[in-house]
A and B are shown apart, each in its own frame.
Chain A
C-alpha cells in the first residue's frame, strides 16, 4: 500500500488492488506443458526433509510460469503427488512462504509433507506482491484460500469425469479424490486431466468452514529455517551467475548531488578492477526509486570493487541539500509544532477548553531519523540479453522494481524479469527499487552479468530514511483529572517528498498512522500538521509514522495519568473511553484505515482495551517492584491489529538500563501461524525498543554522519530483555497485520517504564543514543 504514495492515492480507503484472476469460467486453463521463463534461482524444495527417493526419482513439476490466470499461478502438482506452491509474497523473515503455503495447502487439502515452495517472479498476474504494510495475510488470505479451493474443485471435477459420476459424489482427502463407491485417485494421477478443465466460477468453489481448517491457525514449522541453519538459503547478495562481475558504487554524498569530476586511474590500478563508469543522474524533479547516480567500480570480486572505490578520485557537486544539518533542523521542527499548523482533525473546541482548563499539560517530543539497516544490505544482479533484462534481487516489491527498471532503462515492462530471492531483512528498505535499477544500468554497460552490492556504509549513507519528527502535545484536564481536550501537532518530512517535488509537509496518510487515529475519548480533539521540507530520501520503516506518532501519544497518555495522579494503566483505559467503533472521518480526518473499510475493520476500542487489560494481567501490573525498577505500558492499533506492551526496566545507580521482562498482548483477529506471529511480536517489539533507546541518523551539510554499526547502534544480545511473553487473543475477526504492529507501543512503553523507575521523563528518541547511561540530570 505504501507504493500508493507514489500514485498520490492516499485519500481513498480503497479495497486491496491487484487481485489475481482465480476465477474465469470461459477461458481454458492450462496447468502444464508451457515453456516460458526459467527462474534461475528457484527456491523449490525449500524444505530440507530428505525424501526416501533420490532426487532423480522425483517427478517434475509442470512449468506453470507461463500461465496468466487461475489457481495454477500458485500451485503445480507433480505426477507423484508432490505440490509446489509458488509464493508471490517476498520472504524476509516473517515466514511468509510458510503462511502462504498454509493457506493454500489447507484449502487444497494435501499433506503438509508433500508441499514444496517456489517463488513467483514479479508480475501483475500474481496479484499484490508488495510485501509491505503487513499485508501478506490480512489482504491476501482470501485469495490464497480460493486458489487452493479452486484447484481442489478442478481435481474433483476431473476425477468425476474420469469415473463418469457427478462431482458432488466426489470429495478430497489429503491429496486423494474419493468416490462413494470406494474408488479413489491421487492428485498426481489426475492433475493433468484437471489442468485441461475450465477454471471454475467463484460461486462454484466452496472454501472450508473455519472449524475444518487443518493448517490455518496451527504453528506449522517454517519451511525456510532448515535451510537457514545450514547456510543454504539464497539471498539477493548470494546470487552468482556465470561470468558475473561485481560492482560497488561511489554515490553522491548528498541527495541530488552530482559527479563534478572523476579520475578512474587509481581505481583501475587496483588488481581485479575492470571498469569504472559513471551512472546517469536521476531525472525529473522527484527521485522516487531511481538510481542516485555516482561512479560504479566494476571488478572481478566484491573486495576488489570496494578497494577500487577507496582509491577512486572523485569530486562532487553537493547540490541543493548541502544546507541540511540535523541540529538546526531539530530546532526548526520543534518551532514548527509550537505554532498553529494545518488542522487535519477537529472535534469540539480544543482552544477554548485549553484556555479554561483547571489543569493544562503540554509536552514536546522528538524522534530522530532511523535507518532500516537490514542485515543483508541491498544487493541485486542483472543480465541483459539484447533489449531484455533479467534481474535477481532481494526485493519487497518486485512489480515496482520491474516498472522502475523498465522506465529508467527505456524498455517495455515485458522485457524485464524480476526474480525474487530471499531477503535478509527488509523493514521497508527493500521496497525501494533503486538498487535493482543500478544493477540493470551497470550490466547493460558491461554487456555481462553484474551484481551490485551495497556495503553497510552505503546502506547508512544513502538510505531511504525514516522521517525525523517533532510532536507537540497539549491536554486540558478537568477537576477530576479527566482529559477534556487533546491537541497533537506533528511535523516531519513526508514520504511523499520522495515521489513529488515541492512537498513541504506530512500527509493525511502519515497522520493516520498514530495521530488522527488515536482513540481519545475527550470531547475536544485536534490534530495539526506543521511544515517540514525533506533533505534526505524519506522512506518507510517498519510501522512507518506510527513510530514517532505513537511515541508521543503513548508517552503523553502516561504523562496525563501522572498529572492526574492516577494509575497509568487505569488512566489509559479511561482516556480511550467507552466501547465503540470510532471513525476519525466523523471529525473531519482523512482516514485510509490501512486500505480497508471501517465496516470490515473498525477502530474497536473494546479490543484495544482488552489487550491492555491482558498485558497488565500478564505483567502483574501494580505489584510492588524492587528499588530501581519500573513498569510502563502502552497500546496501539496499527495495521488493523491491536497490541499492548508492558515493559519492566531496571535502572541502576549509574543510569544503566536492563529489561527484565516484556509482556505483549496481541489481537490480530484470525492468525495463520501463532508461532511465527509471536516471533513477529518479539522482533517487532525489540525493533521498537532499539529505535527508542539507540536509533539516530543525523546529517551535517547534507551528508549522513553515521557510517556503520558502531555509530548506528542497534540492539544486541546483551541489551535484549531477559524474558518476554506474548499472548495472542482468541479471535475469529478478519486477519490483521502482524509484522509491524508490535513496534509502535514498544517505544512509549519503555519510556514510561523508565519514568516509573527514575522519575525522569525522556521525550527524545533515542533515549540513550551512543551512551550506556541515562542522562538522569539534564533535560529529557
Chain B
C-alpha cells in the first residue's frame, strides 16, 4: 500500500512494507542518504529529522505514522536558523568525520527555533541525544552559541 509522504515540501508516494522506519524509506527507497543510521534504537540521534517542526528519530518511526505531516530532512533545511547554524558550523569546522552532523544540525536547528539564547544546560538537554564519536562537542557547543548571537 503506497503511503504519501511530504518530505522537504514535496509529496512522494512510497511503497514500503508496513512498519518500515522512515529512516530506511528515506535512505533506501528515496535515495536521500543525508539522514544517517547509527543505532536503530533512538539512542544516537544520527537519524534525526523534523516532523511538523519537532525533531524525531526516524529509525524508530514507522513511515506510515508520519503520513500527512511535514517532514524535513537535512537536505531540505531552508529556515534562517538553519542557514545561520550551517554557517556557524562551517566557520569553525565543527564536523570531523561528519557522519553524525546531519542529526546534530537537525537538533540544533530545533533548539534555536525554540530558544534564542540557550544556556550550557539547555544545550546539554537538547543535544545529549546526539552522539558524536569524534567528540566534536566543544565545537558544537561553540557553534550553537555563535549562531544564537547571529540570530
Contacts and interface: CB of A to CB of B under 8 A. Distances in A.
A686 B134 CA distance: 8
Contacts of B94: 225
Contact of A229 (B90, B123, B129): B90
A124 interface: no
Q: Nearest 10 A-B pairs (CB), nearest first?
A: A231-B34, A424-B99, A93-B97, A93-B96, A231-B74, A228-B98, A686-B135, A720-B137, A238-B33, A718-B124
Interface string B51-84: 0000000000000000000000111010000000
A714 B17 contact: no
A232 B73 CA distance: 12
A779 to B, nearest CB: 30
Contact of B27 (A302, A424, A679): A302
Interface in A280-337: 300-304, 306-307
B123 A717 contact: yes
Given A225-B98, A246-B28, A717-B130, A230 B135 contact: no
A24 interface: no
B6 interface: no
Interface string B119-142: 010011101111111111111110
Contact of A224 (B41, B43, B95): B95
B86 A230 contact: yes
Contacts of A272: 17
Interface in B1-43: 16-17, 20-21, 24, 27-29, 31, 33-41, 43
Contacts of B34: 230-232
A45 interface: no
Interface of B: 16-17, 20-21, 24, 27-29, 31, 33-41, 43-44, 46, 73-75, 77, 86, 89-90, 92-102, 105, 120, 123-125, 127-141
Interface of A: 91-95, 221-222, 224-235, 237-238, 240, 246, 271-272, 300-304, 306-307, 373-377, 422-427, 453, 455-457, 675-676, 679-680, 682-683, 685-687, 690, 708-710, 714-718, 720-722, 724
A303 B17 contact: yes
Given A231-B35, A717-B123, 20 more contacts: A91-B97, A221-B93, A224-B98, A225-B89, A229-B95, A229-B101, A229-B105, A306-B40, A375-B132, A375-B134, A376-B38, A422-B98, A425-B133, A426-B97, A679-B136, A683-B136, A708-B39, A708-B43, A716-B129, A722-B120
B53 to A, nearest CB: 18
Contact of A301 (B16, B132, B140): B16
Contact of B131 (A226, A228, A679, A714): A714
A428 B106 CA distance: 28
Contacts, number: 191
A698 B90 CA distance: 39
B33 A303 contact: no
Nearest to B103: A375
Nearest to B106: A231
Contact of A375 (B24, B46, B77, B105): B46
Contact of A230 (B75, B123, B139): B75
Given A303-B28, A709-B131, A375 B33 contact: no
A717 B96 contact: no
- The listed residue with most B CB atoms (<10 A of its CB), out of A303, A686, A724, is A303
A300 B28 CA distance: 9
A717 B124 contact: yes
Contact of B135 (A228, A690, A722): A690
Contacts of A300: 28
A249 B77 CA distance: 35
Given A229-B90, A422-B97, A456-B39, A687 B73 contact: no
Contacts of A91: 97
A715 B135 contact: yes
Contacts of B99: 233, 235, 374-376, 424-425
27 contacts: A225-B95, A230-B77, A232-B75, A234-B33, A237-B36, A237-B37, A238-B27, A240-B31, A304-B17, A304-B20, A375-B133, A376-B99, A424-B36, A424-B98, A456-B44, A683-B96, A683-B134, A685-B135, A708-B40, A709-B39, A710-B43, A714-B133, A715-B135, A717-B123, A717-B124, A718-B124, A720-B137
Contacts of A93: 95-98, 134
A464 to B, nearest CB: 16
Contacts of A271: 17
A92 B40 CA distance: 22
Contacts of B36: 235, 237, 375-376, 424
Nearest to B18: A271
Contact of A302 (B24, B75, B128, B138): B24
